[in-house]
Structure 1
Amino acid sequence: MTVAFKQQSIDRLQESLVHVQRLIERQRQLEQQAARPEAGAADDAPLQQNLLELRQRLAQLHPADIAHILEALPLEDRLLAWDLTEGEREGAVLLEVSDAVRESLIEVMDPDELVAALVELDADELAELAPDLPRQVVYEAMGRLDEEERGQLQAVLSYEDDRVGALMDFELVKIRADVSCEVVLRYLRRFDELPRQTDKIFVIDDAGCLKGVLSVRKLLVSDPEAEVADVMATEVVSFQPDEAAVDAAQAFERYDLVSAPVVDRRGMLLGRLTVDAMVDVIREESDSEVLNLAGLKEEEDLFASVMDSVKNRWSWLAINLCTAFFASRVIGAFEHSIAQLVALAALMPIVAGIGGNSGNQTITMIVRALAMGQMQLGQAGRLWRKELGVSIINGMVWGSVIGVIAWLLYGSVSLGLVMLAAMTLNLMLAATMGVMIPTLMQKLGKDPALGSSVLITACTDSGGFLIFLGLATLFLL
């Protein structure tokens, strides 16, 4: 996809969002007019015409685009657009929207409507929605599946959401190794269409064990008389259903995979993973890291109620309040020093601010390395020594700059030297905590990103104030 085409797609989506918002706004105005006592029956015609235009506009959009629009609308407008979405497309839209928005849509759907929306979904897609659906709806939807699909759904639901087994796709093409390429081509022509993301065909034996894969590109250029066993690849990147989905996503990125087999410990082919599912995993993992760094519990609906947003944010704000109070007590302990040398009050935020920024740089790098599997816990000491070296150099350079500025502003060389020392020491503290916090979280089995930004800021603020004011008290007063 070229940059120009991607930009055109974004522009079209934005245009669709604006158009839908205008139609909804007009709908609200027409409803107000129709509700007036003097309004007659004729006033209902424009309202119905606007509804029809809105319905038609939504019908022209891809389910993913409808999902984007629903996420960008306030709850009342979202529900209006959702009511006008075609019933047979509701299941596909539910798959695309964020968890928070999906919850708001499911809440307003009755069980029969939910079951009808799930009819068009495959077993693996139904499994993706199952945790958010009422249990009775899941049972009823399962009852409409055939025996094979029901078994597939139960297999997927037996795994945790973050496991490979929960993301398996059962639509795949299987062949035997003892047939010719011509036979395979004739077999493929019997399909109305191949499953999505079919870049390879899976070769199995009579027991269903995976023996290799045959690339579709390889098949097309091979001698039709050649046996599959002679042209298939036997070195295959495969996954087991209990492996972490994040690890599988990283493998997809590393090896540029489009699809890959999922096998059990005996080598039996269970299903496959596809790149679209792995892209979703990578995006969700990235979103989760951003939210955790900021101290948010979960992804939040942009237009959620005030209380829902408060519940999502309060815990780390409470922690931040405690750390801020501790920092204020550090300052309070040096009230006498600040009263004697007012310049300290003006300069100490600089030391804390630079330390916080440096610490966030370090902690972001370490969290990313842990998430990507590039760093093992045993390497923490080596990385700490490296970050310590970086912080010393940065501290000396920028501490000298701010030290000279302090000297010029307040006419005190000693104050400038204290600024240099405090800056360097606080950056060293930031480097130490930037490595320590995420690695300690990892050792405790927590997400390394969880509240890291809040914690590093607390350490560099309190530490920066203590270091700067302590040095000033010792050497300037």
Structure 2
Amino acid sequence: MAEKNDYEDRLGRLRQALDSGAMNAVQRSLHALSPAEIGRLLESLPPSPREVLWGVIDPEDRGEVLLHLGDEVREGLMRTMDVGQIVAAAEDLDIDDLADFVEDLPETVTQQILQSMDARDRARLEQIMGYEPDTAGGLMNTDTVTVRPDVSLDVVVRYLHLRGELPDSTDCLYVVDRYGHYLGALSLDRILTLDAGRQVRDVMERERDPLTVDMSDREVAKHFENLDLVSAPVVGDKGMLVGRITIDDVVDVIRDEAEQRMMRMAGLDEEEDIYAPVRGAARRRALWLGINLATAFMASWVVGLFEATISQAVALAVLMPIVASMGGIGGSQTLTLMVRGLALGQISGGSAKALLRKELSVAAINGLLWALVVAAITLFWFGNPLLSLVIALAMLFNQLCAALAGVTIPLLLKKLSIDPALAGSVILTTITDVVGFFVFLGLGALILL
């Protein structure tokens, strides 16, 4: 908490200096911030002060800062840069970060960046760019340190001394044969603590399984989470070691996935600039609002079918929102549980059936409990036992229907290759509203009139 407050204080002082035009103070404040923190600050500023701040950022830091920005903010700032500045910003980036950086650049700019690199780095970059960005191949870096199994730990230590430095987040070396096939991993602690005369083949970790280049980024993140890894080797065809993935890349995947899920539930683009121009923001949100309007009209149409019933029993109109609201809340709880389970790979065919039974049981218990509570309140309020029976039955039925929909909708959307977090809540709300209104008003027509 203290670190968070200190960070917010620094950002606050920087904003004050920026507002007052004290650019020397702004530059001093920027030196105390990491590229990720500067990126967060840029995204929190409207376009005009954002461009002013961008102008005082050290050119050597601009590449790292751009990597921590959403696509829309990054594209806006890069429009203010000439080709030479973009190429200079890319020079000091790691190869895996550079692959992400050039992915959305114009072809002419990408070619200039490639031409500015030496042949070895250019080949490494082109290798990574040959894989889809959301796979292990697209995430990996090619800066692996390898050793052979038939050398002693003393030889390994002397080799590391000759190298002088290791790539960031290096916790182990990778053991390969003479043809480059991955054999295992040799952790740094074993190099430092075991007898220097022992052979690498005798002390290496053979159980550290490599990732394949076509593994999805979600599976990579789960692999790191399950095994508490700092880095992991990546292999291509025939088990050839082609690179490694480090924990910083996995953290980015987890963060991006969380942001995507949160924004998609509202029908928004996770890369959208919070200060985006009005016209573009309005256009992106119009479709989602249109879908919501269509579902609202569907619920209103159902209510309209019982216009005569409502006119004769006005109490139905008063109580009607309670049934739909309780069903929506119950269904949303189940839907959230399902979306999370699907994202974490915790739900399969057999477990889905067990989960459905469990959610229906929970819905039955809660539905019965709150149906009795609402029935008692209704009886006290309107003094009509039949009306209390109607709302109790409707609430119980809608809770069961909401649980059923909350389980089945995400499974169906996943089979259709539609993101459940994006479309699930709209469909669920429509079902609970329509079913709730129909059952409540239908029972009212049958029992009360």
TM (norm. structure 2) is: 0.97
Aligned pairs for 1:395-410 within 5 A: 395-410=367-382
Match 1:26 to one of 9, 20, 23:
20
Aligned pairs for 1:415-434 within 5 A: 415-434=387-406
Counterpart check, 1:185 vs 2:157: yes
Q: Any unmatched runs of 5+ in structure 1?
A: 1-6, 28-49
SS at structure 1 position matched to 2:162:
coil
Distance 2:221 2:443 in 1: 49
**Structure 2 CA distance for partners of 1:377 and 1:301, relative to 1, 3 Å:** farther
Distance 1:358 1:306 in 2: 36
Partner residue of 2:2? 8
Partner residue of 1:214? 186
SS at structure 1 position matched to 2:186:
strand
Count residues in correspondence: 449
Partner residue of 2:113? 141
Q: Aligned letter for 1:21?
A: R
Q: Aligned letter for 1:13?
A: Y
Q: Does the CA contact (< 8 Å) of 1:422 and 1:464 recur in 2?
A: yes
Counterpart check, 1:242 vs 2:214: yes
Q: Does the CA contact (< 8 Å) of 1:338 and 1:345 recur in 2?
A: yes
Partner residue of 1:320? 292
Distance 2:41 2:270 in 1: 21
SS at structure 2 position matched to 1:189:
helix
Q: Aligned letter for 1:23?
A: A
1:421 deviates by: 0.8
Q: Does the CA contact (< 8 Å) of 2:90 and 2:101 recur in 1?
A: no
Partner residue of 1:470? 442
SS at structure 2 position matched to 1:441:
helix
1:404 deviates by: 0.7
Match 1:299 to one of 241, 255, 271:
271
Distance 1:60 1:135 in 2: 35
Q: Aligned letter for 1:365?
A: L
Distance 1:116 1:193 in 2: 24
Q: Encode CA deviations 1:202-234: one digit per residue, 9 max, x unaligned.
A: 011110111110111222211111111111111
Identity %: 43
Distance 1:460 1:299 in 2: 31
Q: Does the CA contact (< 8 Å) of 1:403 and 1:420 recur in 2?
A: yes
Q: Any unmatched runs of 5+ in structure 2?
A: none
Distance 2:143 2:237 in 1: 21
Distance 2:271 2:430 in 1: 24
Distance 1:67 1:299 in 2: 13
1:378 deviates by: 5.3
SS at structure 2 position matched to 1:273:
strand
**Structure 2 CA distance for partners of 1:9 and 1:100, relative to 1, 3 Å:** farther
Q: Does the CA contact (< 8 Å) of 2:233 and 2:245 recur in 1?
A: yes
1:116 deviates by: 1.1
Q: Aligned letter for 2:418?
A: K
SS at structure 1 position matched to 2:173:
strand
Distance 1:101 1:9 in 2: 27
Partner residue of 1:199? 171
Counterpart check, 1:438 vs 2:410: yes
SS at structure 1 position matched to 2:346:
coil
Aligned pairs for 1:323-402 within 5 A: 323-377=295-349, 379-402=351-374
Aligned pairs for 1:257-276 within 5 A: 257-276=229-248
Q: Does the CA contact (< 8 Å) of 2:14 and 2:25 recur in 1?
A: no
Distance 2:93 2:395 in 1: 59
Q: Does the CA contact (< 8 Å) of 1:238 and 1:262 recur in 2?
A: yes
Q: Does the CA contact (< 8 Å) of 1:441 and 1:447 recur in 2?
A: yes
What is the root-mean-square deviation in Å for CA atoms of aligned residues? Answer: 1.4
Q: Does the CA contact (< 8 Å) of 1:294 and 1:454 recur in 2?
A: no
1:473 deviates by: 1.0
1:379 deviates by: 4.0
Worse-superposed segment, 174-183 or 305-314 = 305-314
Q: Does the CA contact (< 8 Å) of 1:106 and 1:133 recur in 2?
A: no
Partner residue of 2:43? 71
SS at structure 1 position matched to 2:420:
coil
Distance 2:266 2:355 in 1: 24
Distance 2:175 2:100 in 1: 27
Partner residue of 1:60? 32
SS at structure 2 position matched to 1:253:
helix
Distance 2:13 2:104 in 1: 30
Q: Does the CA contact (< 8 Å) of 1:297 and 1:313 recur in 2?
A: no
1:9 deviates by: 2.8
Q: Aligned letter for 2:295?
A: T
SS at structure 1 position matched to 2:232:
strand
Q: Does the CA contact (< 8 Å) of 1:294 and 1:451 recur in 2?
A: no
Counterpart check, 1:413 vs 2:385: yes
Distance 1:21 1:377 in 2: 53
1:56 deviates by: 2.5
Q: Does the CA contact (< 8 Å) of 1:162 and 1:245 recur in 2?
A: yes
Partner residue of 1:80? 52
1:121 deviates by: 1.2
Distance 2:33 2:282 in 1: 34
Distance 1:312 1:15 in 2: 34
1:109 deviates by: 1.5
Partner residue of 1:451? 423
**Structure 2 CA distance for partners of 1:264 and 1:442, relative to 1, 3 Å:** same
SS at structure 1 position matched to 2:212:
coil
SS at structure 1 position matched to 2:239:
coil
Distance 1:167 1:137 in 2: 22
SS at structure 2 position matched to 1:88:
helix
Q: Aligned letter for 1:208?
A: G
Q: Aligned letter for 1:186?
A: R
Q: Does the CA contact (< 8 Å) of 1:178 and 1:229 recur in 2?
A: yes
Q: Encode CA deviations 1:238-270: one digit per residue, 9 max, x unaligned.
A: 111111111110110011111000001311100
Worse-superposed segment, 172-181 or 381-390 = 381-390
1:159 deviates by: 1.5
